[in-house]
A and B are shown apart, each in its own frame.
Chain A
Amino acid sequence: MSEGQEQTDLDLVRRIKADDPDAFEQMVERYHARIYSLSYGVLRNAEDAEEATQDAFLTLYRKIGTFDDTKKFFSWFYRVALNNAYSRARRRPSLPTVAIEDYLPRFRSDGHLAAEFPDGSIPVDDDAALRELAGRAEGFISELPATYRDVIWMNDVEQMAPAEIAEVLEISIPAFKSRLHRARLYVRQRLTEISTPPARVAAGAAAPSLTSERTNRPARENP
């Protein structure tokens, strides 16, 4: 995070506590984009995300005295921003969320997949189609319950490190992985549903359009 002579978060925190206005501006410059993006992930609306970002920094300014300098600043501030966004989200009419279990794969009692998948097609070789699907995927993410939505948003869109996400959300790494995987399974199911031509479904075609991908495993998988 630090570049050249840039100060550490903790340096800035100490200067903000000492009422240094330049330090506060530097903190805004450093974190406003990430806080905006984090807020947008929860609120899904630019105007709300902008206001939530302002509120998060106001809270930072007012509550900085309560921050324990021995802790990591970013996780404290991300929690502040997340709570802020959650609180703003609660004041709005709530949007329906999906029951993720309804979209997870089903298995027979012996552990085998319950049915052949007639939906095994996502056109990954077509960039334009993929971009369109990505837009739909964002919509599917927004339908997820917050516990899943925030994990997949932070990991796959914000590209935050798993350890950071687990710390900010105050969950274990196994819980993080479980939520991320389930969220991806949900998005996978929804994407395959919308990207498979009805004729193929009707014909019960099970072969994916990407069979070549199966053999495209990382080299170290085939030592």
Chain B
Amino acid sequence: MKGPGESPENGAAPASNPCGGTARDSAESAHDEITCQKLILECLLDYESGAMSADDRRHLERHLDACPPCGNFLTTYRATGKTLQMLKPCEVPAALARAVVAFVRSRSGRE
């Protein structure tokens, strides 16, 4: 059931502070620590779901404030979430429960 090319899988993500500075970033200025790629592919879901520390959020927001394309991206990502919230579970046929019980009774017999 693994999706092609997906990551991280099975806890393969960095153990902590996934969106914060890394050893590679440490020599860079604070404003450059998060790239668009890291922000969009690795951090956005946690950022939007609130599953991120205040420090990490501030870190991310420094990039968002300085990067109009990422700001744009966040806007449309949120709009997508709002659109998806309008999708409702499909309408269940009114007589389905009775039909299920009748169906099973007509074929009952356990293995």
Tell me the complex Cα distance, A152–B4, Å.
16
Task: State the Cβ distance, B34 to closest chain A Cβ, in Å.
Answer: 9
Determine the distance from Cα of A53 to Cα of B95 in the docked complex, in whole angstroms. Answer: 12
Contacts A107-B37, A137-B83, A221-B57 known; A120 to B6 CB distance under 8 Å? no
Interface residues of B in 57-94 (CB under 8 A from A): 57, 61, 64, 68-90, 92-93
The answer on a CB contact under 8 Å between B87 and A138 is yes
| Chain A positions 51-65 with a Cβ under 8 Å from a chain B Cβ | 53-54, 57-58, 61-65
Size of the chain B interface, CB-CB below 8 angstroms: 64
* Interface residue A85 (Cβ < 8 Å from any Cβ of B): no
Residues of A within 8 A of B2 (CB): 147, 171, 175
Given the complex of chains A and B, what is the CA–CA distance between A29 and B87 in angstroms?
Answer: 24
Chain B positions near chain A (C-beta within 8 angstroms): 1-13, 35-38, 40-41, 44-46, 50, 54, 57, 61, 64, 68-90, 92-93, 96-97, 99-101, 103-104, 107-111
Cβ of A172 < 8 Å from any Cβ of B? yes
Q: Contact at B90–A120, with CB atoms within 8 Å?
A: no
Contact B72 A49 (CB under 8 A): no
A175–B13 alpha-carbon span in the complex (Å): 10
Q: Are A58 and B13 in contact (CB under 8 A)?
A: no
